[in-house]
Amino acid sequence: MTELLRGTRPVVMGVLNVTPDSFSDGGRYADLDAAVEHGVRLYQEGADLIDVGGESTRPGAVRVDAETESARVLPVVRALAAAGVPMSIDTTRSAVADAALAAGASVVNDVSGGLADPLMRTVVAAAGCPWILMHWRGHSDRMQDLAHYHDVVGEVRTELAARVDDALAAGVAADKIIVDPGIGFAKRPEHNWRLTANLSDLISLGYPVLFAASRKSYLGRLLTDAAGTPRPVDQRAAATIATSVLAVAAGAWGVRVHDVRDTVDALAVWQASGSPRVGPAESDGGHR
């Protein structure tokens, strides 16, 4: 994990949603054996971390209770830990994060950036684990109503900086913080494109940046066919890989993707091409 956080090479997180209703893989890995098998496969394909989630965050999703979320993820986390697979837990709930860390996860991926549960910062600070703080404005049932910006890149940067300040004030170490623009969360397609094109503005905060556009709807809309139908979710891999390479080339610390093997291949090409890695250490000498 320490090596991952140092950012000497791009990190690939593989998505494992143990939910019936996530937008791209919902229902496919709701069964324990299928989930564990898929997590192991993504790890073997080269993922650095498997990101295990038990609550869908697709636009409009209705929340599940903490018990349901825990019952979905904990057996998977335990089994993957036993298989030696490193994991992040994708949750906004401190109780789920706490239990998943105890069960073998080593990173907390919080799409609310600590806003949904005020106890999350305490759990993360006590655990001393890395914390991914994503830009978020509200739960999925209402997030599209919150997609109003004058300057999306500037506002996301300012709001993420506030999340970082909250984390630091709670005792989370600066070198454990990762930020994420939250592609698709309270964002319209034009907002997602502005953020995709201006990642360097977020990288200049001085924290590792995770970019997570995999299969998201703005890519489907980009690839709309002549009849006006957006490209289906399972046919957005090439577009996703293009965004991942662009993000890493712009200095992103890592990407969160469904298609691990092809992403790893594409990033190997990027690295072999000798492209200089431009990250916080090189660009502005560290934290804000």
Active-site amino acid positions: 216, 256
| Element spanning 134, H or E | strand 131-134
Q: Which residue's CB is nearer to ligand PMM, number 86 or number 285?
A: 86
User: Binding ligand PMM by CB under 6 A: which of 123, 134, 179, 202?
Assistant: 134
Q: Which residues contact 180 (CB under 8 A, 6 or more apart)?
A: 132, 133, 134, 135, 209, 210, 211, 212
User: Binding ligand PMM by CB under 6 A: which of 50, 89, 105, 210?
Assistant: 210
β-bridge partners, 51: 15, 88
| Region binding ligand PMM by CB under 6 A among candidate stretches 53-61, 74-82, 117-125, 273-281 | 53-61
Closest distance to ligand PMM from the beta carbon of 180 (Å): 4
| Region binding ligand PMM by CB under 6 A among candidate stretches 148-156, 165-173, 180-188, 246-254 | 180-188
| Region binding ligand PMM by CB under 6 A among candidate stretches 33-41, 62-70, 99-107, 176-184 | 176-184
CA distance 147 to 141: 13
Q: Which residue's CB is nearer to ligand PMM, number 80 or number 210?
A: 210
Task: Tell me if 111 contacts ligand PMM by CB under 6 A.
Answer: yes
Task: Tell me if 202 contacts ligand PMM by CB under 6 A.
Answer: no
Q: What's the sign of the alpha-carbon dihedral 148, 151, 152, 155?
A: negative
Judge whether 121 and 114 are in contact, CB under 8 Å.
yes
Judge whether 130 and 178 are in contact, CB under 8 Å.
yes
Task: Tell me if 180 contacts ligand PMM by CB under 6 A.
Answer: yes
Residue in the structure block whose two tokens are 């890519």? 219
> Taking CB under 6 A as the criterion, which residues in 89-108 touch ligand PMM?
90
CA angle centred on 73, ends 67 and 75, rounded to 5°: 105
Count residues near ligand PMM (CB under 6 A).
Answer: 20
Q: Which residues contact 283 (CB under 8 A, 6 or more apart)?
A: 200, 203, 204, 251
CA distance 62 to 83: 32
Task: Tell me if 207 contacts ligand PMM by CB under 6 A.
Answer: no
**Separation in Å, CA 87 to CA 55, 104, 234, 256:** 16, 8, 24, 12
Closest distance to ligand PMM from the beta carbon of 285 (Å): 26
Closest distance to ligand PMM from the beta carbon of 227 (Å): 26
Q: Which residue's CB is nearer to ligand PMM, number 232 or number 268?
A: 232
CA angle centred on 25, ends 218 and 21, rounded to 5°: 90
Considering just the CA atoms, what is the radius of gyration of the chain in Å?
17
| Region binding ligand PMM by CB under 6 A among candidate stretches 150-158, 197-205, 206-214, 262-270 | 206-214
User: Binding ligand PMM by CB under 6 A: which of 4, 10, 12, 23?
Assistant: 23
User: Binding ligand PMM by CB under 6 A: which of 109, 112, 192, 263?
Assistant: 109
Positions that interact with ligand PMM (CB under 6 A)? 15, 17, 22-24, 53, 57-58, 90, 109, 111, 132, 134, 180, 182-183, 210, 212, 214, 256
